[in-house]
Amino acid sequence: MARDPQPGRDDDGRDGARTPQHPAPAHSAREIAAAWERERPGTPVSSIGIVTPIWQLAKLFGDDRRRVLARAGVDTATLDLLSVLRRSGPPYALSTRELGHRSLVTAGAVSQRVARAEQEGLVTREATGGRPRTVLVTLTPAGHDLVEATVDQVLHREAGLVAGLTPEQQTRLTELLHVLLTDVQHRMGDDRLSQVGGE
């Protein structure tokens, strides 16, 4: 969720963003937590300061990346697939199972991504007689070229977006995010924890 507190007084009203359609504002985690406290005293707001900005940043980064890649005629899901293969090094081939693990998407999503990329000649798919049934996805020269032509653009752009933080802040943020991510992955592993926990 992402939202804000008060309808009335505000500060924006300036400039008209050029970006496609959507607006920019979106209110801060601080304001959202305050609004819950005001409307529903006792609401457990402690996680909002972390979860909300993470969600908002992911949305902003994701939308931005999609727009940058649209110019190159690729979509983010395809570039993600190709990048994973490219990064894995020669022979640039992985099983669909491995692809799902590394991209955090379901097997069905991998199947569809690969089918689209194969259609465009960016990867090939071959059934190796693995144990139960392993399918190996391999990067084609065209796929390799596409990664080379776009990945620096994306990373360079994103480096610019986080450049507002000092090197020390970037380091500290990276560390904290790493700790949180590791811990969250661990907790999700043992789900059935409190899952919903009721009141």
Nearest to 77 by CA among 48, 45, 106: 106
Residues in binding contact with DNA, number by CB under 7 A? 37
Amino acid identity of residue 108, one-letter, is G
Is residue 109 near DNA by the rule CB under 7 A?
yes
Is residue 29 near DNA by the rule CB under 7 A?
no
CA–CA separation, 124 and 71 (whole Å): 25
Residue 140 site contact among its own copies, DNA, none (CB < 5 to 8 Å, cut-off depends on kind): none
Give residues with Cβ within 8 angstroms of 105, minimum separation 6.
113
CA–CA separation, 92 and 17 (whole Å): 41
The interface region with its own copies, picked from 116-124, 129-137, 166-174 by CB under 8 A, is 166-174
Nearest to 84 by CA among 138, 128, 153: 138
Show the beta-strand stretches assigned E in 98-185: 123-128, 134-139
Q: Which of 66, 75, 88, 138 binds its own copies (CB under 8 A)?
A: 88
CA–CA separation, 25 and 4 (whole Å): 10
User: Residue 31 or 120: which CB sits closer to its own copies?
Assistant: 31
Q: Which of residues 137-196 bind DNA (CB under 7 A)?
A: none
Is residue 70 near its own copies by the rule CB under 8 A?
no
Is residue 88 near DNA by the rule CB under 7 A?
no
The interface region with DNA, picked from 26-34, 43-51, 113-121, 148-156 by CB under 7 A, is 113-121
Residues that bind DNA (CB under 7 A): 1, 3, 16, 20-22, 63, 66-67, 75, 77-78, 80, 95-97, 100, 104-116, 125, 129, 131-135
